Structure 1
Amino acid sequence: MTAFQVPHRMNFSTVAPKVFKAVLALDAAARDGLDPVLVELVQIRASQVNRCAYCIDYHTSDARKAGESEERIYQLSAWAESSLFTEKERAALALTEAVTLLPEGVSDEVYGAAAKHFGESELAQLIALVITANAWNRMNVTTRKTPGTQ
């Protein structure tokens, strides 16, 4: 049995290097001050919602390097039904989904839960992280970047 190969459309970093570098800079700035494990959980969850195979692969690898357990990575797609995530992580994941699925809006309840667990500056960093994850997802899904490619 051979794996299905999704045809790659372009190498965005080569074709639009200024844009790519700007998103890299935004990504680095958004991570500043956030827990590295939480960063990866948010990146993975946004990527799951957006069905970005490249980013799911990339961030699950980074999550493992940051010390995340296999069990929590496996249950991340069903975090709301799992008992493995803290209230703070659950608030971050709910906000991640709300910002990722923006046409549905970000409810006061979701925003308030996140604000309860994150100070204003940290909450701004978290929102920026979700925005960045979505930018990467949209770039990689559109160009069909696949796991294992540069």
Structure 2
Amino acid sequence: MTTEHTARMNFTKAAPKVFQAMIDLTAAAKEGLDHSLVELVQIRASQINHCAYCLLMHTTDARKAGESEERVNLVSAWHEAPTFFSEKEQAALALTEAVTLLPNGVSDEVYARAAEHFDEAELAKLIGVIFAINAWNRIAVTTSKVPGTA
């Protein structure tokens, strides 16, 4: 059963400067980080935020970039499937969850775990990626962006 779903607004057209700033922020944050890791982070945040638009986009992008079905399918259960993800990826996913669920805080343990795998510049960019995908999720969910549309 399908129901008609339409977006509340076209954010890109309604706020083109904000949209471009988000594009620029995302590009700057991703620069120099492993593409697969970035996609895993974007998938996990989008799952937590229930952003169907971004979830479809980033699972599709991850697969196109060569990510395995098993890993894409297990991102939401990475805690229970640690052998599918490197220590570095697990640290990034833990940080993603902590930053996305910010009211719970980012513990010293989660931050230190990430800092073990990323130098300061990489960690700053990873935080930027997490920030950016959370902002994109909030834009898409708020405007009721339709998955699979431009």
Q: Same-fold call, TM > 0.5?
A: yes
1:125 paired to 2:117? no
Aligned residues: 149
Q: Distance in 2 between matches of 1:4 and 1:70?
A: 28
Runs of 4 or more consecutive aligned structure 1 residues displaced over 4 Å after TM superposition? none
The alpha carbon displacement at 1:25 in A equals: 0.3
The unaligned stretches of length 5 or more in structure 2 are none
The alpha carbon displacement at 1:3 in A equals: 1.4
1:71-112: per-residue Cα shift (whole Å, max 9, x none)? 100011101110201110000000000000001000000000
Corresponding residue of 2:141:
141
Q: Distance in 1 between matches of 2:79 and 2:96?
A: 12
TM-score normalized by the length of structure 2:
0.97
Corresponding residue of 1:103:
103
The alpha carbon displacement at 1:5 in A equals: 2.8
1:79 paired to 2:105? no
The alpha carbon displacement at 1:65 in A equals: 1.5
Corresponding residue of 1:20:
19
How much identity, in percent, do the aligned residues show?
A: 64
Q: RMSD in angstroms over aligned alpha carbons?
A: 0.8
The unaligned stretches of length 5 or more in structure 1 are none
The alpha carbon displacement at 1:4 in A equals: 2.4
